[in-house]
Amino acid sequence: MPNANGLLDIRNLVKHFDISGGLLDQFRFENGKLVRRRTTVKAVNNVTFNVKPGETFSVVGESGCGKSTLARTILRLYPPNAGEIYYRGKRIDKLTQEKMLPYRAKMQMIFQDPYASLNPRMTVQKTLEEPVYFHNKSISSTEVKERVATVMELVGVDPKWAGRYPHEFSGGQRQRISIARALTVDPEFIVADEPVSALDVSIQAQILNLLMDAQQKRGLTYMFITHDLGVVKHISTRVAVMYLGMVCELAPAAELFQTPMHPYTQALLSAIPVIGELKPKHIQLRGEVPTPINLPSGCVFHGRCLYAKEECREHVPPLREVNTDHFAACFLL
Ligand code: ADP
Protein backbone atom coordinates (compact mmCIF):
# COMPACT_ATOMS: atom_id res chain seq x y z
CA MET A 1 0.00 0.00 0.00
CA PRO A 2 1.25 3.52 -0.74
CA ASN A 3 2.41 5.61 2.18
CA ALA A 4 -0.44 7.96 3.17
CA ASN A 5 2.02 10.77 4.04
CA GLY A 6 4.05 10.44 0.86
CA LEU A 7 3.74 12.84 -2.05
CA LEU A 8 5.34 10.31 -4.35
CA ASP A 9 5.60 6.60 -3.74
CA ILE A 10 7.34 4.22 -6.09
CA ARG A 11 7.27 0.45 -5.65
CA ASN A 12 9.58 -2.03 -7.38
CA LEU A 13 9.95 0.23 -10.40
CA VAL A 14 11.63 -1.37 -13.42
CA LYS A 15 12.69 0.26 -16.68
CA HIS A 16 14.52 -1.73 -19.35
CA PHE A 17 15.37 -0.59 -22.88
CA ASP A 18 15.27 -3.06 -25.71
CA ILE A 19 18.26 -2.27 -27.93
CA SER A 20 18.09 -5.44 -30.05
CA GLY A 21 17.72 -3.39 -33.24
CA GLY A 22 16.01 -4.78 -36.37
CA LEU A 23 15.06 -8.42 -36.83
CA LEU A 24 18.23 -9.18 -38.84
CA ASP A 25 20.44 -7.78 -36.04
CA GLN A 26 18.83 -10.18 -33.57
CA PHE A 27 19.84 -13.42 -35.33
CA ARG A 28 23.29 -14.96 -35.00
CA PHE A 29 25.00 -18.34 -35.31
CA GLU A 30 25.88 -20.04 -32.02
CA ASN A 31 27.34 -23.58 -32.09
CA GLY A 32 26.21 -24.01 -35.71
CA LYS A 33 22.64 -23.00 -34.93
CA LEU A 34 20.78 -19.85 -35.87
CA VAL A 35 19.47 -18.27 -32.66
CA ARG A 36 17.55 -15.10 -31.91
CA ARG A 37 18.95 -12.94 -29.11
CA ARG A 38 17.40 -9.80 -27.70
CA THR A 39 19.55 -7.22 -25.92
CA THR A 40 18.14 -5.16 -23.06
CA VAL A 41 19.69 -2.39 -21.01
CA LYS A 42 18.47 -2.91 -17.45
CA ALA A 43 18.59 0.76 -16.51
CA VAL A 44 16.29 0.72 -13.44
CA ASN A 45 15.74 -2.43 -11.40
CA ASN A 46 13.23 -2.79 -8.58
CA VAL A 47 13.51 0.68 -7.11
CA THR A 48 11.29 1.45 -4.11
CA PHE A 49 11.14 4.69 -2.09
CA ASN A 50 8.83 7.53 -1.16
CA VAL A 51 9.25 11.30 -1.29
CA LYS A 52 7.57 13.33 1.45
CA PRO A 53 5.93 16.72 0.86
CA GLY A 54 8.35 19.64 1.16
CA GLU A 55 11.55 17.61 1.11
CA THR A 56 14.53 17.69 -1.22
CA PHE A 57 15.13 14.07 -2.06
CA SER A 58 18.39 13.52 -3.93
CA VAL A 59 19.36 10.59 -6.11
CA VAL A 60 23.12 10.19 -6.56
CA GLY A 61 25.44 7.76 -8.28
CA GLU A 62 27.98 7.51 -11.07
CA SER A 63 27.09 8.41 -14.62
CA GLY A 64 25.06 5.63 -16.26
CA CYS A 65 23.64 4.17 -13.02
CA GLY A 66 20.07 4.97 -14.10
CA LYS A 67 19.28 8.27 -12.33
CA SER A 68 17.82 10.07 -15.35
CA THR A 69 15.92 7.01 -16.50
CA LEU A 70 14.42 6.70 -13.03
CA ALA A 71 13.37 10.37 -13.06
CA ARG A 72 11.86 10.15 -16.53
CA THR A 73 10.02 6.94 -15.72
CA ILE A 74 8.54 8.51 -12.57
CA LEU A 75 7.24 11.42 -14.67
CA ARG A 76 5.90 8.92 -17.22
CA LEU A 77 8.14 10.25 -20.00
CA TYR A 78 9.09 6.56 -20.32
CA PRO A 79 6.55 3.82 -19.67
CA PRO A 80 7.73 1.56 -16.82
CA ASN A 81 8.17 -2.17 -17.51
CA ALA A 82 6.94 -3.09 -14.05
CA GLY A 83 6.24 -1.60 -10.64
CA GLU A 84 3.88 1.01 -9.30
CA ILE A 85 3.97 4.82 -9.06
CA TYR A 86 1.63 6.64 -6.67
CA TYR A 87 1.18 10.40 -6.54
CA ARG A 88 -0.70 11.64 -3.46
CA GLY A 89 -1.87 8.07 -2.96
CA LYS A 90 -3.31 7.72 -6.53
CA ARG A 91 -1.74 5.16 -8.80
CA ILE A 92 -0.51 6.92 -11.97
CA ASP A 93 1.70 4.40 -13.78
CA LYS A 94 -1.15 2.99 -15.83
CA LEU A 95 -3.06 6.22 -16.56
CA THR A 96 -3.77 7.19 -20.18
CA GLN A 97 -2.06 10.34 -21.51
CA GLU A 98 -5.35 12.22 -21.11
CA LYS A 99 -5.87 11.16 -17.49
CA MET A 100 -2.21 11.96 -16.81
CA LEU A 101 -2.63 15.64 -17.82
CA PRO A 102 -3.61 17.06 -14.39
CA TYR A 103 -0.55 15.29 -12.91
CA ARG A 104 1.70 16.70 -15.63
CA ALA A 105 0.99 20.23 -14.38
CA LYS A 106 1.72 19.20 -10.79
CA MET A 107 4.94 17.33 -11.66
CA GLN A 108 7.49 19.34 -13.62
CA MET A 109 11.05 18.67 -14.73
CA ILE A 110 14.12 20.88 -15.05
CA PHE A 111 16.81 19.55 -17.39
CA GLN A 112 20.58 19.80 -17.33
CA ASP A 113 21.05 21.76 -20.54
CA PRO A 114 18.80 24.84 -20.59
CA TYR A 115 19.81 25.62 -24.17
CA ALA A 116 18.53 22.25 -25.40
CA SER A 117 15.35 22.38 -23.32
CA LEU A 118 14.24 25.85 -24.51
CA ASN A 119 12.86 26.35 -28.01
CA PRO A 120 15.31 28.71 -29.79
CA ARG A 121 12.51 30.11 -31.96
CA MET A 122 10.28 31.15 -29.06
CA THR A 123 10.64 34.34 -27.05
CA VAL A 124 10.79 33.98 -23.27
CA GLN A 125 7.23 35.33 -23.06
CA LYS A 126 5.93 32.65 -25.45
CA THR A 127 8.02 29.94 -23.74
CA LEU A 128 6.52 30.78 -20.37
CA GLU A 129 2.97 31.29 -21.64
CA GLU A 130 2.70 28.06 -23.60
CA PRO A 131 2.41 25.59 -20.69
CA VAL A 132 -0.03 27.89 -18.84
CA TYR A 133 -2.44 27.98 -21.79
CA PHE A 134 -1.98 24.24 -22.31
CA HIS A 135 -3.04 23.40 -18.76
CA ASN A 136 -5.67 26.18 -18.31
CA LYS A 137 -7.73 26.49 -21.48
CA SER A 138 -10.04 29.19 -20.06
CA ILE A 139 -7.40 31.47 -18.49
CA SER A 140 -7.44 35.16 -19.55
CA SER A 141 -4.44 36.68 -21.34
CA THR A 142 -4.10 39.34 -18.59
CA GLU A 143 -3.80 36.62 -15.95
CA VAL A 144 -1.21 34.75 -18.02
CA LYS A 145 0.87 37.91 -18.45
CA GLU A 146 0.73 38.52 -14.70
CA ARG A 147 1.80 34.94 -13.98
CA VAL A 148 4.70 35.20 -16.42
CA ALA A 149 5.89 38.49 -14.89
CA THR A 150 5.62 37.01 -11.36
CA VAL A 151 7.72 33.93 -12.13
CA MET A 152 10.27 35.99 -14.05
CA GLU A 153 10.71 38.19 -11.02
CA LEU A 154 10.92 35.15 -8.76
CA VAL A 155 13.76 33.65 -10.82
CA GLY A 156 15.59 36.97 -11.11
CA VAL A 157 15.10 37.71 -14.83
CA ASP A 158 13.75 41.20 -15.53
CA PRO A 159 10.23 40.86 -17.07
CA LYS A 160 11.13 43.60 -19.55
CA TRP A 161 13.38 41.01 -21.30
CA ALA A 162 10.40 38.75 -22.00
CA GLY A 163 10.52 39.60 -25.73
CA ARG A 164 14.05 38.19 -26.11
CA TYR A 165 15.12 34.76 -27.40
CA PRO A 166 17.10 32.09 -25.44
CA HIS A 167 20.38 32.78 -27.33
CA GLU A 168 20.34 36.36 -26.04
CA PHE A 169 20.85 35.13 -22.46
CA SER A 170 23.82 33.63 -20.60
CA GLY A 171 23.80 29.96 -19.49
CA GLY A 172 22.79 30.88 -15.93
CA GLN A 173 19.95 33.14 -17.12
CA ARG A 174 18.73 30.41 -19.48
CA GLN A 175 18.55 27.98 -16.58
CA ARG A 176 16.59 30.61 -14.62
CA ILE A 177 14.14 30.76 -17.56
CA SER A 178 13.85 26.93 -17.57
CA ILE A 179 13.03 27.07 -13.87
CA ALA A 180 10.47 29.82 -14.55
CA ARG A 181 8.92 27.60 -17.24
CA ALA A 182 8.47 24.81 -14.71
CA LEU A 183 7.01 27.24 -12.16
CA THR A 184 4.42 28.97 -14.40
CA VAL A 185 2.01 26.02 -14.12
CA ASP A 186 2.14 26.16 -10.33
CA PRO A 187 3.64 22.69 -9.70
CA GLU A 188 3.99 20.83 -6.39
CA PHE A 189 6.78 18.45 -7.32
CA ILE A 190 9.86 19.27 -9.40
CA VAL A 191 12.39 16.78 -10.68
CA ALA A 192 15.66 18.61 -11.32
CA ASP A 193 18.01 16.47 -13.44
CA GLU A 194 21.58 17.77 -12.94
CA PRO A 195 20.24 21.37 -13.00
CA VAL A 196 23.61 23.01 -12.32
CA SER A 197 26.11 20.58 -13.87
CA ALA A 198 26.34 22.49 -17.16
CA LEU A 199 26.92 25.85 -15.46
CA ASP A 200 30.03 27.70 -14.30
CA VAL A 201 30.88 27.03 -10.66
CA SER A 202 30.23 30.69 -9.77
CA ILE A 203 26.70 30.47 -11.23
CA GLN A 204 25.89 27.07 -9.68
CA ALA A 205 25.44 28.47 -6.16
CA GLN A 206 23.12 31.22 -7.44
CA ILE A 207 20.86 28.70 -9.20
CA LEU A 208 20.83 26.40 -6.15
CA ASN A 209 19.90 29.35 -3.93
CA LEU A 210 17.16 30.27 -6.37
CA LEU A 211 15.77 26.72 -6.25
CA MET A 212 15.83 26.71 -2.45
CA ASP A 213 14.19 30.15 -2.36
CA ALA A 214 11.42 29.03 -4.76
CA GLN A 215 10.91 25.91 -2.59
CA GLN A 216 10.33 28.04 0.50
CA LYS A 217 8.05 30.55 -1.22
CA ARG A 218 5.93 27.97 -3.03
CA GLY A 219 6.11 24.95 -0.74
CA LEU A 220 7.70 22.79 -3.44
CA THR A 221 8.98 19.24 -3.17
CA TYR A 222 12.15 18.43 -5.10
CA MET A 223 13.71 15.30 -6.44
CA PHE A 224 17.27 16.22 -7.25
CA ILE A 225 19.30 14.06 -9.63
CA THR A 226 23.04 14.62 -9.53
CA HIS A 227 26.48 13.05 -9.51
CA ASP A 228 27.84 16.06 -7.59
CA LEU A 229 28.00 14.99 -3.95
CA GLY A 230 29.10 18.42 -2.74
CA VAL A 231 25.80 19.88 -3.96
CA VAL A 232 23.77 17.04 -2.44
CA LYS A 233 25.22 17.50 1.03
CA HIS A 234 24.04 21.09 1.27
CA ILE A 235 20.55 20.94 -0.16
CA SER A 236 19.08 17.49 0.55
CA THR A 237 16.86 16.21 3.30
CA ARG A 238 17.34 12.57 2.24
CA VAL A 239 19.63 10.88 -0.25
CA ALA A 240 19.27 7.67 -2.26
CA VAL A 241 22.49 6.19 -3.64
CA MET A 242 22.11 4.25 -6.89
CA TYR A 243 24.38 1.63 -8.39
CA LEU A 244 23.56 -0.24 -11.61
CA GLY A 245 19.89 0.70 -11.54
CA MET A 246 19.33 -0.20 -7.88
CA VAL A 247 19.16 1.81 -4.67
CA CYS A 248 21.94 0.53 -2.43
CA GLU A 249 21.52 3.05 0.40
CA LEU A 250 18.89 5.59 1.48
CA ALA A 251 19.25 7.85 4.50
CA PRO A 252 18.79 11.40 5.83
CA ALA A 253 21.52 13.50 4.17
CA ALA A 254 23.47 14.40 7.34
CA GLU A 255 23.52 10.79 8.51
CA LEU A 256 24.54 9.43 5.10
CA PHE A 257 27.53 11.76 4.91
CA GLN A 258 28.53 11.08 8.51
CA THR A 259 28.02 7.31 8.66
CA PRO A 260 27.74 5.77 5.20
CA MET A 261 27.00 2.05 5.63
CA HIS A 262 27.11 0.48 2.17
CA PRO A 263 30.64 -0.22 0.85
CA TYR A 264 29.73 1.55 -2.41
CA THR A 265 28.54 4.71 -0.60
CA GLN A 266 31.72 4.65 1.50
CA ALA A 267 33.86 4.54 -1.65
CA LEU A 268 31.77 7.21 -3.38
CA LEU A 269 31.99 9.62 -0.44
CA SER A 270 35.70 8.98 0.03
CA ALA A 271 36.22 10.47 -3.45
CA ILE A 272 35.04 13.93 -2.31
CA PRO A 273 38.13 16.13 -2.01
CA VAL A 274 38.59 17.81 1.38
CA ILE A 275 40.24 21.23 1.57
CA GLY A 276 43.56 21.09 3.39
CA GLU A 277 43.81 17.29 3.25
CA LEU A 278 46.95 16.43 1.32
CA LYS A 279 46.50 12.65 1.29
CA PRO A 280 42.84 11.89 0.59
CA LYS A 281 41.57 8.62 2.06
CA HIS A 282 40.15 7.57 -1.28
CA ILE A 283 38.84 3.98 -1.22
CA GLN A 284 39.93 2.27 -4.45
CA LEU A 285 37.34 -0.17 -5.75
CA ARG A 286 38.23 -3.26 -7.76
CA GLY A 287 37.48 -3.52 -11.49
CA GLU A 288 35.09 -1.53 -13.64
CA VAL A 289 31.35 -0.80 -13.45
CA PRO A 290 29.69 -3.79 -15.20
CA THR A 291 27.37 -3.10 -18.13
CA PRO A 292 23.64 -2.86 -17.36
CA ILE A 293 23.10 -5.27 -20.29
CA ASN A 294 24.59 -8.18 -18.29
CA LEU A 295 23.88 -7.49 -14.65
CA PRO A 296 26.03 -9.48 -12.20
CA SER A 297 24.34 -12.24 -10.21
CA GLY A 298 23.46 -11.66 -6.54
CA CYS A 299 24.45 -8.22 -5.24
CA VAL A 300 25.18 -6.10 -8.34
CA PHE A 301 28.11 -4.54 -6.48
CA HIS A 302 29.84 -7.78 -5.44
CA GLY A 303 32.46 -7.76 -8.25
CA ARG A 304 33.83 -4.42 -7.04
CA CYS A 305 33.22 -4.79 -3.32
CA LEU A 306 36.28 -5.17 -1.11
CA TYR A 307 34.33 -7.26 1.41
CA ALA A 308 32.17 -9.51 -0.82
CA LYS A 309 31.56 -13.06 0.42
CA GLU A 310 29.94 -16.13 -1.13
CA GLU A 311 26.40 -15.08 -0.20
CA CYS A 312 26.83 -11.77 -2.07
CA ARG A 313 27.52 -13.61 -5.35
CA GLU A 314 24.38 -15.72 -5.07
CA HIS A 315 21.63 -13.64 -3.47
CA VAL A 316 20.30 -10.13 -3.96
CA PRO A 317 20.48 -8.23 -0.64
CA PRO A 318 17.18 -6.50 0.21
CA LEU A 319 17.11 -2.80 1.09
CA ARG A 320 16.47 -2.97 4.83
CA GLU A 321 16.45 -0.55 7.74
CA VAL A 322 19.84 -0.70 9.46
CA ASN A 323 19.27 2.36 11.64
CA THR A 324 16.21 4.62 12.13
CA ASP A 325 15.25 5.86 8.62
CA HIS A 326 18.59 4.56 7.31
CA PHE A 327 18.30 1.78 4.72
CA ALA A 328 21.04 -0.23 3.03
CA ALA A 329 21.14 -3.26 0.76
CA CYS A 330 24.13 -5.24 2.03
CA PHE A 331 24.52 -8.66 3.69
CA LEU A 332 27.53 -7.44 5.66
CA LEU A 333 25.54 -5.03 7.82
P1 ADP B 1 22.49 8.41 -15.41
O2 ADP B 1 21.39 9.43 -15.46
O3 ADP B 1 22.72 7.86 -14.05
O4 ADP B 1 23.77 8.89 -16.04
P5 ADP B 1 20.91 7.02 -17.40
O6 ADP B 1 19.58 6.83 -16.77
O7 ADP B 1 21.05 8.13 -18.40
O8 ADP B 1 22.02 7.13 -16.27
O9 ADP B 1 21.33 5.66 -18.13
C10 ADP B 1 21.26 4.38 -17.50
C11 ADP B 1 21.57 3.33 -18.54
O12 ADP B 1 20.50 3.25 -19.48
C13 ADP B 1 22.84 3.64 -19.35
O14 ADP B 1 23.51 2.42 -19.61
C15 ADP B 1 22.30 4.24 -20.63
O16 ADP B 1 23.17 4.00 -21.71
C17 ADP B 1 20.98 3.50 -20.79
N18 ADP B 1 19.94 4.30 -21.49
C19 ADP B 1 19.45 5.49 -21.08
N20 ADP B 1 18.49 5.91 -21.94
C21 ADP B 1 18.39 4.97 -22.92
C22 ADP B 1 17.59 4.81 -24.09
N23 ADP B 1 16.68 5.72 -24.42
N24 ADP B 1 17.78 3.70 -24.85
C25 ADP B 1 18.69 2.75 -24.49
N26 ADP B 1 19.48 2.82 -23.40
C27 ADP B 1 19.33 3.91 -22.62
pLDDT at 222 over 60: yes
Query: What is the Cα–Cα distance from 12 to 73, expressed in whole angstroms?
Result: 12
Whether residue 63 has its Cβ less than 6 Å from ligand 1: yes
The CB of 205 under 6 Å from ligand 1? The reply is no
- 323 pLDDT exceeds 70? yes
Counting from 1 in the atom list of ligand 1, the atom nearest the Cα of 225 is 2
Closest atom, ligand 1, to C-alpha of 72: 6
Nearest atom in ligand 1 to the alpha carbon of residue 44 is 10
Work out the mean pLDDT of the chain and round it to a whole number. 90
Residue nearest to atom 10 of ligand 1 (CA): 66
Residue 112 CB–ligand 1 contact under 6 Å? no
**Closest protein CA for atom 21 of ligand 1:** 17
pLDDT, residue 197, reads 85
Q: Give the start-end residues of each E strand in 253-325.
A: 320-323
The SS3 of residue 168 is helix
Query: Is 89:270 a contact under the CB 8 Å cutoff?
Result: no
pLDDT digits (tens, 9 = 90+) for 18-32: 988 777 777 888 888
- Dmax over CA atoms of the chain, in Å, equals 72
| pLDDT value of position 29 | 83
Ligand 1 neighbour 292 (Cβ under 6 A): yes
Lowest mean pLDDT, pick from 1-15, 216-230, 233-247, 304-318 = 1-15
19 close to ligand 1 (CB < 6 Angstrom): yes
The contacts of residue 329 (CB under 8 Å, 6+ apart) are: 246, 247, 248, 249, 262, 299, 316, 317, 318, 319, 320
Residue 258: is its pLDDT beyond 80? yes
Average pLDDT over residues 199-225: 91
Output the residue whose Cα is nearest ligand 1's atom 17: 43
Name the closest-CA residue to atom 24, ligand 1: 17
pLDDT digits (tens, 9 = 90+) for 133-155: 999 888 999 999 999 999 999 99
Mean pLDDT of 267-290: 78
Could you tell me if the CB of 77 is within 6 A of ligand 1?
Answer: no
Q: Determine how β-strand 189-193 pairs with β-strand 40-51.
A: unpaired
Q: What is the structure's pLDDT at 282?
A: 80
Atom 13 of ligand 1: nearest residue by CA position = 64
pTM here is 0.91
| pLDDT at 213 exceeding the cut of 80 | yes
* pLDDT at 4 (0 to 100): 57
pLDDT for residue 279: 63
Q: Distances from the Cα of 60 to the Cαs of 79, 181, 230, 233, in angstroms?
A: 22, 25, 11, 11
Residues 176/184, Cβ–Cβ less than 8 Å: no
Mutate to test the pocket of ligand 1, among 39, 40, 41, 247 (most ligand atoms within 8 A of CB): 41
Residue 227 confidence (pLDDT): 86
Contacts (Cβ under 8 Å, ≥6 apart) of 257: 233, 269
Q: Which atom of ligand 1 is nearest to the CA of 69?
A: 6
CB of 141 shorter than 6 A to ligand 1:
no
pLDDT digits (tens, 9 = 90+) for 151-189: 999 999 999 999 999 999 998 999 999 999 999 999 999
276 pLDDT more than 80 = no
43 lines ligand 1 (CB under 6 A): yes
* Residue 17 Cα: closest atom of ligand 1: 25
Q: What is the DSSP string of 177-240?
A: HHHHHHHTT--SEEEEESTTTTS-HHHHHHHHHHHHHHHHHHT-EEEEEES-HHHHHHH-SEEE
Average of per-residue pLDDT across 63-85: 95
Q: pLDDT per residue over 106-137, tens digit each?
A: 999 998 887 788 899 999 999 999 999 999 88
